[in-house]
Structure 1
């Protein structure tokens, strides 16, 4: 947690962590510091540690640059680090993938007209393979793609984050009682939580 500047870790159940992260992310002002105040740091799960919360959003206007740098720092120490956005209600997908201290890919498809400004690096093998499955060119230039091709790819990417995470690491949507686990999960304060406190609320445990 030192690389991320997290503080005051408190052991929690998965149920409580999910309730707190959901409330912080969705129940308060969308642009207030409370939505970034806390994160859940999971126990080690099949070799991976998850950090969950709005603070980790790789395409948030306020957080995107720092999430990119955090992935670089973490991958420099641990070899690989990734950050994902997934809008389960059809709001799109985005990812940052870093290896050995460098970001090799950032990509976003959320329907925002500025998505293309976030792109870094060449398509990942998973992206290329998925395009071939769709009958599209594995490498592409959005400026020269047809509208139909762009639409087909956009809608495929909207739901892609969980599948990509599983292909190159571990998707949180696949975690279950049989997932190898070591350690204890904690809620921790980010720099926003340390400076401003956390939103009030009652949560399920």
Structure 2
């Protein structure tokens, strides 16, 4: 692969993704290291970004890794807490003992990161292929006494009772049943992990809220006991209840609107007309009848711990975040993560898109 052309594309602001780099190999790392030695400042920055993208910290080489670590340390010294966006699944553990959290999840090789860099790396975990999606976990600093873990341990992601999709029947009903069975196994695993964490740390939660549909769940455990479990995909599995849910409808519950309230909404040539009127009428009736809102994982997390999306300058921070490898990461290597903001520029020759540090 012509890595100089890829580096030129990055400098020019053209789209390059980890999928574009999936066919690269050891010779491409050698070419990028040559660019790091001989290219102009912008190309050297691009090569650094690509080296990290292809092989993580190990691909940078001793000199570049020291530079990046020095840059991160300087940013950590003045870091202001930033909100974690797009956090679909996370654990909240009431502890500041990050080393113990890493041990509990079987994580290793922690690399310090700023909160913004950790969030950027974690956002890309879905972009990989194969085990790249389960190779690395972001563990936050302690935030108002809570440590967040974004991701799961390898054993949780690959439990023995989960069946491979390639073995499923092509008959639609059997295919669907196999999918539901796998989802139940994963719910059980996440619930057991939460209880085990609470046995070690006193209190542990996990939360899930899909950004693609309405799926949501939460689990709360204290001192080795399951206090509450709820998933709208399987409300029949619910355990316990929380005061934080009072005044809300659970996600699977219907809003008690009058029968036939939307029957007379006219259909026009533009289907959006019907949808707009549906939403307007739904909101108006809810207000008129003083009907409750639905809660979700975000609602409960904000009430019981610290919501990662609400972290800000007033949040108390202890320590720093890390990116760490799971068992899959140790076996298959760092996932490919293209971080355009990961640059170190001692004396830029000229400004470029890659000169701006956003770590």
TM bin, normalised by shorter chain, reads: 0.7 to 0.9
Bigger-Rg structure (1/2): 2
* CA deviation vs aligned residue, 1:168-193 (integer Å, no higher than 9, x gap): 11111110011000101100111221
Q: Which residue of 1 aligns with 2:243?
A: 125
The within-5 A match list for 1:42-81 is 42-53=140-151, 61=183, 63-81=186-204
Cα offset, 1:166, TM superposition: 1.4
Q: CA contact under 8 A between 1:95 and 1:107: conserved in structure 2?
A: yes
Q: CA contact under 8 A between 1:105 and 1:119: conserved in structure 2?
A: no
Higher share in strand: 1
Distance in 2 between residues matched to 1:178 and 1:88, nearest whole Å: 27
Q: Which residue of 1 aligns with 2:328?
A: 192
Structure 1 residues 164-173 or 61-70, which shifts more? 61-70
Cα offset, 1:122, TM superposition: 2.0
Q: CA contact under 8 A between 2:231 and 2:238: conserved in structure 1?
A: no
TM-score by length of 2: 0.45
CA RMSD of aligned residues (A): 3.1
TM-score by length of 1: 0.75
* CA deviation vs aligned residue, 1:125-173 (integer Å, no higher than 9, x gap): 2223313xx9xxxxxxx8xx8x655xx99x824xx21121111111111
- Indicate how the Cα distance of structure 1 residues 190 and 117 shifts in structure 2: closer, same or farther if over 3 A, else same: farther
The SS at the match of 1:156 is coil
The within-5 A match list for 1:165-204 is 165-203=301-339, 204=341
Q: Count residues with an aligned counterpart.
A: 180
Distance in 2 between residues matched to 1:68 and 1:197, nearest whole Å: 28
Cα offset, 1:88, TM superposition: 3.5
- Indicate how the Cα distance of structure 1 residues 148 and 5 shifts in structure 2: closer, same or farther if over 3 A, else same: same
Q: Which residue of 1 aligns with 2:128?
A: 28
Q: Which runs of 5+ in 2 are unaligned?
A: 1-101, 158-179, 257-285, 342-358
* CA deviation vs aligned residue, 1:50-96 (integer Å, no higher than 9, x gap): 00136689x98474433322211221122110011122454432111
Distance in 2 between residues matched to 1:53 and 1:64, nearest whole Å: 14
Q: Which residue of 2 aligns with 1:102?
A: 225
Distance in 2 between residues matched to 1:173 and 1:42, nearest whole Å: 13
